[in-house]
Structure formats: C-alpha cells, structure tokens
Amino acid sequence: MNKLILTSAISMALLAGCGGGSGSDDKVTVTPEPSSASFSLGISDAPVSNVKEVWVAFDSIIINGGGEQPTFETRDADNPDQPVMVNLLDYTGSDIFALINDEVVAPGEYEWLRANVVNGDMANIEFTSHVVYNDDTIVPLAVNRKGNDGIGEIQINDFTLAVGENQFVLEFDLKKSLVNPSNSDEVNLKPTGIRLENLADVENILGTVSEELFNQCETDNMDIVPETGAFGHAVYLYSVAEGQKDLYVDGETVPADAPIATANVVMNEESGAYEFEIGFVAAGEYTLGYTCAAHIDDPEVMDELFTLESIEPVSVVAGEDSVVTFDIAVAE
C-alpha cells in the first residue's frame, strides 16, 4: 500500500513539473489489491452400510495460523443456544452442507483446522452427536479428545488460505471413520477418515456398475452373504495408478494400503442404473476397485474375506468430472 501511494505522489509531481497539472482539484485514484481471505467451509460425506442417519453436532470451527486462532461458532439458525446438527447422510457425493460462509480472515499458511463436536449423550441425544441404525436403534457418536468435557476434536493439519475467495469442504468417509458401528453401545468417529479439500483443486468421479457385474459379484461371494440386510456394493478409490501396487481380484484379498475415499453403489430409481459418485478428488492418476463385500469391511483390521470384483484406472483432470464404467467385459 505504501508503495502505491508513493508512486502516485511522484507521478503527480512529474505532471506538475511538465505543465501537466490542471489545478489542486486533480486526483489520482489507486485501487489497492485485496489483502484478506474469504473463508467458507462445507460438510459432505461418503455413506456407510447398516445406518440410515449419522448426526454430528458442530459446536465451533477454529483455524490456527501465525499466532492467531479465529474461532467461528456454529449454531442452529432457529435455536442459537444449540450447536448446528448435520445428518451427514443427507450430503453425499458432491452435495455440501454450508457450515461457514465468507468469513474474512488473514491469508497465509495455517497449521490446522479444528472442528469441535458435541459428543453424544443419551440424556440429550437430540442436540448431541448420534447414529441411527436401520432398525431405528440410536447410539451416541463420539470423537476422542483429552479431557472429559463432552467435546470432541476433529483436527486437519496444514492448509493455505489465498487472498480472495477460499471454499473448503470437510469430506467424511464414513466407511473409514465409523469404528465398529454395529458392535458397540457408542460409535467412535475417527478423524483419520476425514479430508479437508479446497474446492478450487478438486473434481468428482462419477460412474456406473452394470447389472450383470452387480449380480455376478453377489454370486461369486455367496460365502459372505449377509445374515440380514444386503450385500455392500461400493467403489474404493486408491491413491496410485494401476500397476504401481497390487490390487487383487478373483478371491485374493485387497492389500493393507487403505483407500483414500469410498462410495456406495446405489440404484437410480428413474433409470434403473447402478451408480456411484466420489466427490472432491484432486487431479492425478488413481485406481478404482468395485466390490460387493463392503458390508464386512472393518476399518480397524485387514479383512481376509474382503475382495475386489473389478478394478479400473481413472485419471482426474482439473476442470472436468471423470466418468468410469464397471462391467463384465472389464472384469474379465
């Protein structure tokens, strides 16, 4: 700013010395460059089997950088005394719930973003985090944190806010985040299954699974047919291109390398097609794996019976969505 003012002052003096001035009312207007960042944050998720609602109570968002820690309270619009409640399963794929809108902060490198979550409490379950199973059973949802004040912390390290507009999303991959969701009186939400993505840097992967492959996968996996419910049809995204590591098919187990994102395969009731969508993926080379064994996928252990029915390479290019099809021809 000082440099711009000084330059304008010198220009005025030169104009006056050359006879270019036309009086004391002449002005030179300098429009300063933006010096602040606009910060917006949304919430999205990749769903999980066996549950129909995953409610997270967001109490506040804190960002830490340069010694400053701007804090944004997140409150229910109709009840400011209560945290905002978000059912993650209402915002899957590329759908986003807007949590923070256009907050002005300093640009620069930030050490971390922390989402403070009100852990589940059966005595006040309506306004605290909780999970609703398909059979309508309700259990508290908790994020681990030192201390015993009922607040959990989701912390994501290292991100940048540029001068101007910044739109981010917290992407919850519930297959990786919900720990033992069917075997506990309290469900744990692991921050390791959550990504912070800049919407300016990511695209979406869309795709279909043919009916033939969908049915064949269930036939091939009758030894793990679920006692209740349905097979877990899902697509897994791996962070390397095909050929850079082993991704086994036809009875072999998937390697221990964890996927970076997942998506359920669901039927489009209008078209009858089996579709999936993985949102917010950075440009690069990846491998997709299709399975119907997601119902036995435990995020805490390596599942020996878990297999991929088919794999497909995918390139994510900036500025456009990627489209992938799984079918019998590809599987064979």
53 shares its domain with 96:
yes
Q: What percent of the chain has pLDDT over 70?
A: 80
Average pLDDT on 56-74 reads: 92
24 shares its domain with 59:
no
100 shares its domain with 226:
no
48 shares its domain with 111:
yes
Average pLDDT on 228-241 reads: 85
Q: How confident is the model at residue 270 (pLDDT cuts 50, 70, 90)?
A: very high
Domain for residue 172, yes or no? yes
Asked whether residue 14 carries a pLDDT value surpassing 70, the answer given is: no
Higher pLDDT, 55 or 190: 55
Q: Last residue of a domain, which of 133, 156, 189? A: 189
70 shares its domain with 98:
yes
Closest of 217, 321, 308 to residue 279, by C-alpha: 321
Closest of 94, 86, 79, 89 to residue 61, by C-alpha: 86
Asked whether residue 32 carries a pLDDT value surpassing 50, the answer given is: no
CB 117 within 8 A of CB 187: no
* Total-model pTM: 0.77
Residue 322 to residue 225: CA distance in whole angstroms: 32
Higher pLDDT, 16 or 188: 188
Domain for residue 125, yes or no? yes
Asked whether residue 11 carries a pLDDT value surpassing 60, the answer given is: no
Average pLDDT on 198-221 reads: 95
- Scanning 18-163, the segments in alpha helix (DSSP H) are none
Domain for residue 311, yes or no? yes
Asked whether residue 228 carries a pLDDT value surpassing 50, the answer given is: yes
Domain for residue 195, yes or no? no
Q: Last residue of a domain, which of 157, 189, 221? A: 189
CATH of the domain at 315: 2.60.40.1120
Residue 265 to residue 278: CA distance in whole angstroms: 10
Domain for residue 196, yes or no? no
Q: What tokens does 285 get? A: 């080379």
Asked whether residue 6 carries a pLDDT value surpassing 90, the answer given is: no
Residue 241 to residue 313: CA distance in whole angstroms: 6
Asked whether residue 249 carries a pLDDT value surpassing 50, the answer given is: no
Residue 196 to residue 280: CA distance in whole angstroms: 9
Q: What tokens does 236 get? A: 């897994």
Closest of 90, 45, 78 to residue 189, by C-alpha: 45
23 shares its domain with 45:
no
315 shares its domain with 224:
yes
Asked whether residue 323 carries a pLDDT value surpassing 80, the answer given is: yes
Q: What tokens does 8 get? A: 């304008």
Q: How confident is the model at residue 258 (pLDDT cuts 50, 70, 90)?
A: confident
Q: How confident is the model at residue 291 (pLDDT cuts 50, 70, 90)?
A: very high
Q: How confident is the model at residue 10 (pLDDT cuts 50, 70, 90)?
A: very low
101 shares its domain with 150:
yes
214 shares its domain with 181:
no
185 shares its domain with 133:
yes
Domain span including residue 169: 37-189
Q: What tokens does 135 get? A: 């059979």
Q: Last residue of a domain, which of 189, 220, 235? A: 189
Main-chain phi, psi angles of 245, to 5 degrees: -155, 170
Higher pLDDT, 35 or 21: 35
pLDDT tens column, 117-166: 999 999 999 999 999 998 899 999 999 876 667 899 999 999 999 999 99
Domain for residue 254, yes or no? yes
Q: How confident is the model at residue 184 (pLDDT cuts 50, 70, 90)?
A: low
Higher pLDDT, 195 or 8: 195
Give the total number of structural domains in the chain. 3
Stated length of the chain = 332
41 shares its domain with 92:
yes
Domain for residue 114, yes or no? yes
73 shares its domain with 126:
yes
